[in-house]
Each structure stands twice: as structure tokens, then as C-alpha cells.
Chains A and B, each alone.
Chain A
């Protein structure tokens, strides 16, 4: 039997105080009776200063933190241990530590994970409480930061102005934000049942999948694609997708982050701009007007085809890249030189005011001739700047107008000369007519007069046939006087000035008929005159015309005991009016119808019907001067009808 000497009892106090964890021992009245070194270090206290003092006296709440709950939480936990004799594990507590005055005083933020355990006496009563704490300040602070970061991320993710999604390598949506749901028109739950391939427009899918494959295999780091997607409502949107992988340690992508920007509106605007640009470009290139853009310093920065054509210069020549034909030049309308610094663009550059309607001639080397243009120049001004940033020069080719104008002037000159000649001719003709009417009548008066005197004074010396011959001389003289008068009237109608006004042909006809009936009231002629025949014409001429026609009808019905003369109008299907004068007199042979209207043409012997043969020529001239037409129908012995229209 060996006697084992009992080991000496360890120094428990020393052991306790040296324990690596943080311990305090409290009496049931919460007075501190022991503390481990680690505790003292962690709480920046000294054992002698805390032993025998109440724990809440030593560790009050941070007075700067009105929300501090450390004291009340600890007290509640200690009370639970006292009353229920059980271990109480507290949640992590913020319990700020008072810094010693030597270290600047104040409180330091600390987090603790305390556990309070009862120490019971033999009768089960709690005799002491072991207060163990683990300082978790750093861990808690990191956790807090992580939480805040996570919260911030979530907010950013959910409230982002762009769509964001995580997708699996096979294309399923792992996580989508609200914006992406809005862009594609699906609810979040619906989205999570789909793959991105399902909403991609079929025409864009091939490119998209090719990129996706490349990013999966690591060939490319990320990609950006503008593609169309089909929304739930089947409408099509354009979006810009930025896809980048999130890789695990083995470098294998675990998922992909997509950032999706809806660019439908941008695409629409781009399209609108492209269309507008195309429209304006087409207009610019096809318009007949020449257009030049000049920069503020006067160099040409653009010209349309019309400008190149009118100026006879290529775009390169215009833009100063290729020398210009030495004959190229600009002149004023009077042919003088148009110096460059006075041309419209230069003036606009100096004044900043627009200029319109400057006419200039530009030598076109291709035509080897001047082109005439009307030039406008318009400044493009920037707000607050006096000098124009750009100048638009537009010009219209008026060469054909100029040529036409020259032609018109030449023609006018000829016309004026003709008019002068015509006036002279007319004067001569008037003088001639005057002479004819005046001077030819005088000898006729003598022939007639002296024949009459012979008959009166020498009747006894002339036998019957001698007297008959003298009567013939007198009649011939009278007839020649009539001829002269008719001819003069015909000539007058040809050159008289016309005054157009509404003329009542019915009334004219009634007046003429009244006069004519008075000359031979014994004749039996029935006149029928249609009412309301009103035309636009020269009253005097129309009267002469009607007189002639009615006289004709009167004359050629003179052999009939009962005659019928009608003056009327027939409306044609095309609404034109054909007037007529119809008689049932001697008539004429239609074979000679074309001779009716010639001067001195007679279809009847003078012994049958008197007349000079000028009447119908006069009628025709009146009708022609009114822009009208006249024709006749008739048969020998059946009467005649004269038709006329205006």
C-alpha cells in the first residue's frame, strides 16, 4: 500500500483570477466580490476599485446614449437567476465601457455576450452569481456592417433604375428586381419560372446565345448586347443587356449578373432621327435650289448636288480641296464684277443679318456660260454671339427666266415696232378711206348733177333714148356712191374699236323691223322675233349686222305676196346658242353657199334684187370680230336661213 500524499490544494483564487475568460462573481445583492484579470483588462478597471461595489454602480449606462438598455437588461437577467436558480444566457448587449480619466474619459462602444449562472448553497438558495461575458464587440460590429451593407444592397437592387437579374448558367432567373419585372411585364413569380431565352426576340436569340456561351466558357469576361425582348403582352421592347459572371474559387461561373436598360424610347428616337435625316437628306440632294453651308470663317462645309450643278463646281472644288477653273467668276446684273467680300454670305458674316433676293451671274465652266441665280443667305446665330456660327446660302437658278425675259424684251421691241408700223398703216388707211368717201363722191355728184341739168335744161334737144341714157348715167353714179358707202362701212367695221356690253338682240331686231316696215307699209310680211336674246357684244356693230340680215330677208321676200321672217335662237346640247334669221323668200343654191359672204359676191342679178354685195361680207366681219361663226342654209325658191353664234 503506498501512501499517496495528498496533493496540496490549488490556490483557487489565483486560478479564478487567472482564468482566460471574463468573469465576475456577484453577491445576491449584486455586489462585486471577485473578478478575473481578463475581465478587468476588457473593462479597463482595477480590481481594488470595483470589489465590494455594486455592479450597476461600477458599470452605469452610457449617459450619452439615451437608448441604452444594458443596465435594465442585465438587472432583469440577474433577477431571473436569483429567483429561478437557472443559467440565464443573455442576448448580445451593447454595454459601453467608461474609459479611465487617464485615457481621456468618456465611454467606449462595446458589445457583450453575457451568461449569468447561479451558485447555490446546500439549501438551494443562490449564494452567488457567476457573471461570465464574452466580448463580441468586433464580431457584432462586423455583423452590423454586413447587415447594413446587405440592406443597402437590397435597396439598391430593388430600387435600381435599371433591371437587374441573377441568372443560372442555363438561363433561369435566380433573382430579379422589380424594374426588370416592369420592363418585361411579368410578375416576379412568373419571371422565376422563365429563362432569359424565353423572353428574347427570336431574331436576336442566336447572337445572344453565342455571347452567353463565350462568357460561360471564359472566352470573354463579359458582354453588352442591344436586343429585343418580347413582353408578356407580346409587345416588343429594345434593351441594353450587360452580362458578367460571378465565379467561384475554381473560376467556374456560378451565376451571371445582368443589368438591363430599357432603350425602346432611345431606339424609337434614333429611328425617328434616321428617318428625318433620310427625308432631309433626300430633299437636300434632290431639290432644284442650290444649298451651301459655310462655317463662320467662310469655308464651305457642305453643298448639295443642285449647288454643284448650278455653280459648275465639284464638292471638292467647293470645299477648297481642288483648284477652281480660272474662268469661274461672279458678276452683277449689269455685267460688272461681284467682289467676293460683297457677296451675300460675306455680308451676312459681317452683319449677322439675313439677306434675300440678291441676283447674280455665276460663270459655269461646264456650260461655258453664266448661270443667273437669286441668292438668300441666312446666319445661324448662337445665343449671345454676334458672329454667325454657320451661314446657309440658298440660290435658285433663274437662267431660263432670264433668257425668257430677254426673249420677251426682244419680242416686245418687235411688237412695239410693229405697233408703230400698224398705227402708221392705219393712219394711211384712214386717210385713204376719208379720201375715198369724200373725193370720189364729188365727181359722182357732178356726173349725177350735170346729167340732171342736161335733162332739165336740154330736154328738147334729146330724144327719148338720149334721155334714157342720161338716166342710166345718173343711176350708175348713185349706185357707185352706194358702193363707196358700203365699202367704207366694211372697212370701218374691220378697224373700229369694240365696246363689249350686254346687247338685247330682240330689242334691236324690233327697232330695225319697225323702221323697215315703215319704208313699205303696204307689204304683207309676218315678223316673228323671239324674246330675251341677250349677248355680250358691241352694240353698234351688232345693229349693223342685224340690219343687214333683216334687210336681206326683207329684200329677198319682196316678190312674195305673203312673206314670213323669223328671228330666233336655238340652244344646242352643249348649251351654246345659235341665233338665226329665217325667211321664205327667193333662197339660194347651196352650191354657192361659200360665196355668200365674199365682198361684191352676188347670187342674184341686180335687176332681180338691188344691192351692192357687201352686206353679208359686213355681217361676217362683225361676227368674226366677236369671235363667232356664221353660215347659211337655203334652197332656190325655198327661202334662206342665216345662222350665227358667238
Chain B
């Protein structure tokens, strides 16, 4: 399972297409703001009652989000014992030094700037999927 935190519907469509083009068939949960992402992870709000034992294999996290921004979401994920070891890849338009530093400081596992050229974007998503979903050995938690 992949949690895609993305507020831009175009980017959502493009990301999903890129995943599909790379034959990544995992289930994708889309959270359209920070609150939705946290609700999903901690079984609150619209996801109240969800079995939070089931965690995604990876979180693709945009930084600029309505309500609660990406860095705050990351901070919550790393503070809670439940999600502390969850792999988080920041996927954003920004290449501001400050965002990079803050992202890694808060414990992001990777930082990828979305290329404008869709072919390059697709290629990047492909590599990302290959690495985090296939090659990488995740810690033994109760995720699916």
C-alpha cells in the first residue's frame, strides 16, 4: 500500500499514471491535505475506526499542503512510536535549501523534486517504486 499525500489533482493524476506506467500495482491511498494523511495513519477523522495496524509501505509526501503542511505531517509521523519507522519520501516542486534541510532533519528517508518533463517524472517514479517497494528491506512492522 502507498499513501500519496498530494493536494494538486493534476499531480495526483500524473503520479498515479506514472506509477501505473511503471507497473507498480500497489494500492494507492490519496490524502488531499495533511489532516487527511494524519487521519489515515492514526485512524482519526474521516478514517476513524480504521485498523491502524495496517500501515502503508511508503508515504509519498508533498510539502505544500492545505491545513497541515508536509513537514508537520512528517514531524507527527516521526514522533509517534506507531509510525516512527515508516519510510517517507518527500515528493515536491521545491528545491529550496531550507526545505531539504528541514525535511531530512525531521527524518525524511528521501527527497525528490518533481521534474516538469513528464517523461522524466515517470522515470523518477519508476526508480522510486523499484527502490522503496522492491529493493529496500523495510523494518519488520505490521504493515502490509
Do residues A442 and B11 form an inter-chain contact, with CB atoms below 8 A? Answer: yes
| Interface residue from A438, A445, A449, A485 paired with B64 (Cβ < 8 Å) | A438
Do residues B10 and A477 form an inter-chain contact, with CB atoms below 8 A? Answer: no
Q: Which residues of B contact A149 (CB under 8 A)?
A: none
How far in angstroms is the closest Cβ of chain B from A441? 4
Do residues A441 and B10 form an inter-chain contact, with CB atoms below 8 A? Answer: no
| Interface residue from A438, A439, A445, A485 paired with B121 (Cβ < 8 Å) | A445
Does A371 belong to the interface (CB within 8 Å)? Answer: no
Do residues A445 and B96 form an inter-chain contact, with CB atoms below 8 A? Answer: no
Do residues A441 and B114 form an inter-chain contact, with CB atoms below 8 A? Answer: yes
How far in angstroms is the closest Cβ of chain B from A422? 19
Q: Which residues of B contact A449 (CB under 8 A)?
A: 10, 13-14, 17, 118, 121
Do residues B94 and A438 form an inter-chain contact, with CB atoms below 8 A? Answer: yes
Does A353 belong to the interface (CB within 8 Å)? Answer: no
Contact with B along A410-443 (1 / 0, CB 8 A): 0000000000000000000000011001110111
Does B143 belong to the interface (CB within 8 Å)? Answer: no
What is the chain A residue whose CB lies nearest that of B64?
A: A438
Does B93 belong to the interface (CB within 8 Å)? Answer: yes
Q: Which residues of B contact A451 (CB under 8 A)?
A: 118
Do residues A438 and B93 form an inter-chain contact, with CB atoms below 8 A? Answer: yes
> Contacts A448-B117, A448-B118, A449-B121 known; A442 to B10 CB distance under 8 Å?
yes
Does B116 belong to the interface (CB within 8 Å)? Answer: yes
Q: Which residues of A contact B94 (CB under 8 A)?
A: 434, 437-438
Question: B55-111: which have CB < 8 Å to A?
Answer: 64, 92-96
| A contacts with B, residue count (CB < 8 A) | 22
Does B135 belong to the interface (CB within 8 Å)? Answer: no
Q: Name which of B95, B116, B117 has the most chain A CB atoms within 10 A of its CB.
A: B116
Contact with A along B1-17 (1 / 0, CB 8 A): 00000001011011001
What is the chain B residue whose CB lies nearest that of A475?
A: B117
Bound Cα distance from A445 to B96, whole angstroms: 18
Bound Cα distance from A437 to B100, whole angstroms: 14
Bound Cα distance from A444 to B8, whole angstroms: 12
Q: Which residues of A contact B134 (CB under 8 A)?
A: none
Do residues B10 and A445 form an inter-chain contact, with CB atoms below 8 A? Answer: yes
How far in angstroms is the closest Cβ of chain A from B14? 4
How far in angstroms is the closest Cβ of chain B from A487? 13
What is the chain B residue whose CB lies nearest that of A480?
A: B116
Does B46 belong to the interface (CB within 8 Å)? Answer: no
> Contacts A438-B64, A450-B10, A452-B119 known; A445 to B114 CB distance under 8 Å?
yes
Does A582 belong to the interface (CB within 8 Å)? Answer: no
What is the chain A residue whose CB lies nearest that of B17?
A: A453
Q: Name which of B94, B118, B119, B121 has the most chain A CB atoms within 10 A of its CB.
A: B118
Bound Cα distance from A444 to B117, whole angstroms: 8
Does A286 belong to the interface (CB within 8 Å)? Answer: no
| Interface residue from A437, A452, A478 paired with B93 (Cβ < 8 Å) | A437
Bound Cα distance from A449 to B114, whole angstroms: 12
Q: Which residues of B contact A443 (CB under 8 A)?
A: 10
Do residues A445 and B95 form an inter-chain contact, with CB atoms below 8 A? Answer: no
Bound Cα distance from A451 to B119, whole angstroms: 11
Does A446 belong to the interface (CB within 8 Å)? Answer: yes
What is the chain B residue whose CB lies nearest that of A434?
A: B96
Q: Which residues of B contact A453 (CB under 8 A)?
A: 17, 118
Q: Which residues of B contact A434 (CB under 8 A)?
A: 94, 96
Q: Which residues of A contact B8 (CB under 8 A)?
A: 442
Bound Cα distance from A481 to B96, whole angstroms: 15
How far in angstroms is the closest Cβ of chain A from B80? 27
| Interface residue from B11, B14, B96, B121 paired with A437 (Cβ < 8 Å) | B96
Does A474 belong to the interface (CB within 8 Å)? Answer: yes
Q: Which residues of B contact A485 (CB under 8 A)?
A: 95
> Contacts A449-B10, A449-B14, A453-B17 known; A442 to B93 CB distance under 8 Å?
yes
Bound Cα distance from A437 to B95, whole angstroms: 8
* Selected A-B contacts with CB under 8 Å, 27 pairs: A434-B96, A437-B93, A437-B96, A438-B92, A441-B93, A441-B114, A442-B8, A442-B10, A442-B93, A445-B10, A445-B14, A445-B114, A445-B115, A445-B116, A445-B118, A446-B10, A446-B11, A446-B14, A448-B116, A448-B118, A449-B118, A452-B119, A453-B118, A474-B117, A477-B117, A481-B117, A485-B95
**Interface of B toward A, CB cutoff 8 Å:** 8, 10-11, 13-14, 17, 64, 92-96, 114-119, 121
Closest 9 A/B residue pairs (Cβ) = A481-B116, A449-B118, A446-B10, A452-B118, A449-B14, A441-B93, A438-B93, A444-B116, A438-B94
**Interface of A toward B, CB cutoff 8 Å:** 433-434, 437-439, 441-446, 448-453, 474, 477-478, 481, 485
